[in-house]
């Protein structure tokens, strides 16, 4: 299986991403609303692959991010 380039969507950067380009995670809410699949990508690789998550898996990812001490 080869990675596919994601089409141009409006991507929203996570509030956990910092202003210096680190930890940049983005998701495409309009795609999620239209398809029921939540695309998540690394904003530093906009033409790279995206994870395609179920809504419940996305909630789990957000819950994990909120509970992880990265400091």
Closest among 60, 55, 59, 62 to 25, alpha carbons compared: 62
Query: Is residue 14 domain-resident?
Result: no
Q: How crowded is residue 26: how many other Cβ atoms within 10 Å of its Cβ?
A: 19
Q: Is 0.85 topped by the overall pTM?
A: no
Domains: count for the chain: 1
Over the stretch 2-59, which tens digit does the pLDDT of each residue have?
Answer: 445 545 678 998 776 666 656 688 999 999 999 999 999 988 888 889 999 999 999 9
Phi, psi of 52 (to 5 degrees): -110, 105
Query: Is residue 15 domain-resident?
Result: no
Query: Is residue 48 domain-resident?
Result: yes
Full domain range(s) for residue 55: 23-67
Residue 38 tokens read as 């939540």
Query: Is residue 9 domain-resident?
Result: no
């Amino acid at each position: 299986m080869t990675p596919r380039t994601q089409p141009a969507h409006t991507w929203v950067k996570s509030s956990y991403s910092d202003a210096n380009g680190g930890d940049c995670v983005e998701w495409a809410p309009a795609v999620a609303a239209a398809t029921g699949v939540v695309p998540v990508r690394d904003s530093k690789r906009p033409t790279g692959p995206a994870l395609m998550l179920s809504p419940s898996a996305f909630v789990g990812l957000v819950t994990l991010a909120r509970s992880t001490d990265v400091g």
